[in-house]
Amino acid sequence: GVAVVSSHNIETSRIDIGKPAQRFNNTGRWVEAVIDIPFLDRPLVVISAYVHTGDAGDDNRMEEKLSFFAAMTKRMETLRSSGAHVLLTGDFNVGHTELDIKNWKGNRNNAGFLESERAWFDRWFDDLGWVDLARNLAGPVEGPYTWWSFRGQAFDRDVGWRIDYQIASPEFAAFAATSEVDRAPSYAERWSDHAPLVVTFKI
């Protein structure tokens, strides 16, 4: 499931990602909230989203995943055209570039690093002007990863994937000051195969 929690007043919320994608409305993959922040010149829409892993060997699951990306993109652009600040967050189960997966060569034909998936991120960042906050703040470095398999020594060797994102409309991205992955100190202290992505904004 997904959630938005705020210390500021949430004016409205919705789980409807928009037409023609209502089939996703009751899947627990999308929630958006309009948050009243006194210091901002316009409303802030915060979205929490989850995109399932997919399966390169299952055409139906991949079609569903790519359809969800299409629905996300349409809704993102609708919100942006309304004039609001927009912050989209969540586990999208895709590494955008080779910097986002330690073993990218071995995953070129696997869900999570397929060209058909990564193309949506190209569109968001290169064509539509959305900002990948963690990448923008970290620069062209490997990672920082947000997911590691529980198998083997992936965590200890930092063989991870960067599949959790905070993506902002350009105007709101200008407020992003720092980004970090709150990685557990050790394998034994992990409580998930993911680690939180924390972005601090100065408004």
Is 131 strand, coil or helix? strand
Q: What is the pLDDT of residue 141?
A: 98
**Sequence-distant (≥ 6) Cβ neighbours of residue 162 within 8 angstroms:** 95, 96, 99, 100, 101, 134, 143, 144, 145, 146, 147
Which residue, among 142, 128, 44, 49, has the nearest Cα to 95 in the 3D structure?
142
pLDDT at 21 exceeding the cut of 90: no
Spatial separation of the C-alpha atoms in residues 148 and 160, rounded to whole Å: 5
**Which tokens go with 198?**
């924390």
End-to-end CA distance of the chain: 29
Q: What pTM value is reported for the model?
A: 0.95
Which band of pLDDT confidence, cut at 50, 70 and 90, is reported for residue 26?
confident
Taking only the tens place, the pLDDT of each residue in 123-182 is: 999 999 999 999 999 999 999 999 999 999 999 999 999 999 999 999 999 999 999 999
Pairing of strands 85-91, 44-50: parallel
pLDDT at 1 exceeding the cut of 90: no
Provide CATH code, domain 9-201: 3.60.10.10
Which band of pLDDT confidence, cut at 50, 70 and 90, is reported for residue 106?
very high
Q: Radius of gyration (Cα) for the chain, nearest Å?
A: 17
Give me the residue spans of the domains in the chain: 9-201
Which band of pLDDT confidence, cut at 50, 70 and 90, is reported for residue 59?
very high
Spatial separation of the C-alpha atoms in residues 28 and 11, rounded to whole Å: 20
Q: What is the pLDDT of residue 132?
A: 99
Which band of pLDDT confidence, cut at 50, 70 and 90, is reported for residue 24?
confident
